[in-house]
Amino acid sequence: MKKRILVLGAGFGGLELCTTLSETLGDAVDVTLIDKGDAFVFGYSKLDVMFGHTTLDRVRLPYSRFAKPGVRLLKETVVSVDPMGKRVVTDQGTHEADYLVLALGADYDFDATPGLADVNEFYTVEGAVRVAGILPAFAGGNIVVGVCGAPFKCPPAPSETVLMMHDYLVTRGIRNACKITLILPLETPVPPSPETSRALLAAFAERDITFVADREVRSIDAKRRIATIDDGREFPFDLFLGVPVNRAPRILEASGMTEDGYVPVKPKTLETRFPDVYAVGDCARQGTPKAGVFAEGAARAVARTLIARLRGEEAPVTHQGTGSCYLEFGAGRIGRVDVDFFSDPEGPTGTYHAPSVALRVDKDNFGSSRRARWFGL
Ligand SMILES: Cc1cc2nc3c(=O)[nH]c(=O)nc-3n(C[C@H](O)[C@H](O)[C@H](O)COP(=O)(O)OP(=O)(O)OC[C@H]3O[C@@H](n4cnc5c(N)ncnc54)[C@H](O)[C@@H]3O)c2cc1C
């Protein structure tokens, strides 16, 4: 009988894992991929949608285009996971597996920040689309981009947002009528790379963007239009764009798999404490940032391990803890930071590549190569 691999979540991690398994093993193995959605959207596409650079239709990658030998993609919602039995219950039935991989991403906890649900966020597709509808009528005032807790997905994204906001307001001719403030629960915009952080801080200063470091938004009073941060300071706003508290989906907590909101894994093998159960990407605590490139790298590492195990070979310990993040600096210029979380025992390191138009081609290739590889588009 074929071995059954069950993958929960068809995001960065799940798509890459199943693609790699299919490329190597074809239909010699029985892979089931489950997702509650109809389509995948790159995280960074939300920023492009929000600022009107593209439309949701153009960046939605429908799961109906994901066709890989040996892989069944099912549209179902996972409601519980039994990690000991490797048994998963969905709204459609029960699935059992020989190997189980959790790639369910991070959810947003709106209840953790009183009042946040009454204002705008831009981390969901729906939120980004809503902001895209509001921005054209925005006439000026205080814009506060505020993060409600760490860790959060794509640490550079709020910094990119304020730089893109600056450009947007300049284009509309209302930049002088606006004040932009960024509230970030990090000491610097990109902690592993002081050089990248310096470049972003210089870009904020040049554009008169206020940066509030190492603080998080605690509550929102939507009526008075005030955001309060964790040291008690209040920030009046006319437009608030929030990043909600992130956490692994509650079903994983209910399944007894999480500690402090995430599924702990061995950093280099992505093994959970349950035999034959792995977790990759944003739902796991691996010691790397919550970013697509890291979810993808973790997925490749688990794929290599599973392939070796199925062939009766020794499982390699392969996750390098490295990845590259692109940074929108505005005006079509993109920077890049290559980060390495595991090599240096002193801590994470990063190499900065200054913004250029050439790096935009690099970023476009990053997106189009995944689009082609996963969806044949
Ligand atoms: C604004 C923004 C910008 C970003 N920019 C970048 C960037 O430039 N580069 C980068 O590398 N990363 C970026 N990211 C981060 C990136 O999007 C995530 O880190 C990445 O998607 C995580 O991959 P994942 O596979 O862990 O989870 P996801 O890609 O989130 O996939 C999880 C999947 O699980 C499914 N799921 C969840 N719960 C259930 C359930 N109960 N039943 C069934 N299915 C379920 C979801 O529908 C989803 O498809 C950005 C994120 C945001 C919000």
- The predicted-structure confidence for 253-303, as pLDDT tens digits, reads as follows 999 999 999 999 999 999 999 999 999 999 999 999 999 999 999 999 999
How high is the pLDDT of residue 317? 79
Are 63 and 34 found together in one domain?
Answer: yes
Using CA atoms, how far apart are residues 95 and 86, in angstroms rounded to an integer? Answer: 8
Are 98 and 165 found together in one domain?
Answer: no
Joined tokens for residue 27? 């239909």
Are 116 and 213 found together in one domain?
Answer: yes
Are 127 and 204 found together in one domain?
Answer: yes
Are 41 and 95 found together in one domain?
Answer: yes
Would 372 be classed as within a structural domain? no
Q: Between helices 12-25 and 292-310, what is the axis angle to 10°?
A: 30
Distance 201 CA to ligand 1 centre (A): 27
Would 271 be classed as within a structural domain? yes
- The predicted-structure confidence for 176-204, as pLDDT tens digits, reads as follows 999 999 999 999 999 999 999 999 999 99
Task: State the chain's mean pLDDT as an integer.
Answer: 97
Distance 43 CA to ligand 1 centre (A): 7
Would 12 be classed as within a structural domain? yes
Are 241 and 114 found together in one domain?
Answer: yes
- Count of domains forming the chain: 2
Would 144 be classed as within a structural domain? yes
Ligand 1: which residues within 6 Å by Cβ?
9-14, 34-37, 43-44, 46-47, 77-78, 103-105, 123, 153-154, 157, 249, 251, 281-282, 290-293, 295, 325-326
Select from 210, 228, 246 the last residue of a domain: 246
Counting residues of the chain whose pLDDT is more than 70, the rounded percentage is 100
What 3-state class would DSSP assign to 202?
helix
What 3-state class would DSSP assign to 87?
strand
- The predicted-structure confidence for 67-123, as pLDDT tens digits, reads as follows 999 999 999 999 999 999 999 999 999 999 999 999 999 999 999 999 999 999 999
Ligand 1, atom 35, residue with closest C-alpha: 9
Of ligand 1's atoms, which has the minimum distance to the CA of residue 294?
11
How high is the pLDDT of residue 279? 98
Would 345 be classed as within a structural domain? no
Cα 222–chain centre separation? 27
Would 366 be classed as within a structural domain? no
Cα 271–chain centre separation? 21
- The predicted-structure confidence for 39-64, as pLDDT tens digits, reads as follows 999 999 999 999 999 999 999 999 99
Would 370 be classed as within a structural domain? no
Select from 246, 280, 302 the last residue of a domain: 246
Distance 16 CA to ligand 1 centre (A): 12
Distance 10 CA to ligand 1 centre (A): 9
- With 90 as the cut, is the pLDDT of residue 230 above it? yes
Distance 233 CA to ligand 1 centre (A): 32
CB 341 within 8 A of CB 321: yes
Ligand 1, atom 23, residue with closest C-alpha: 12
Are 116 and 83 found together in one domain?
Answer: no
How high is the pLDDT of residue 319? 87
Using CA atoms, how far apart are residues 137 and 63, in angstroms rounded to an integer? Answer: 34
How high is the pLDDT of residue 100? 98
Distance 71 CA to ligand 1 centre (A): 20
Supply the CATH number for residue 126's domain: 3.50.50.60
Provide the domain limits for residue 136.
110-246
Are 33 and 93 found together in one domain?
Answer: yes
Are 115 and 238 found together in one domain?
Answer: yes
Select from 246, 269, 302 the last residue of a domain: 246
Are 241 and 150 found together in one domain?
Answer: yes
Cα 191–chain centre separation? 17
Ligand 1, atom 50, residue with closest C-alpha: 43
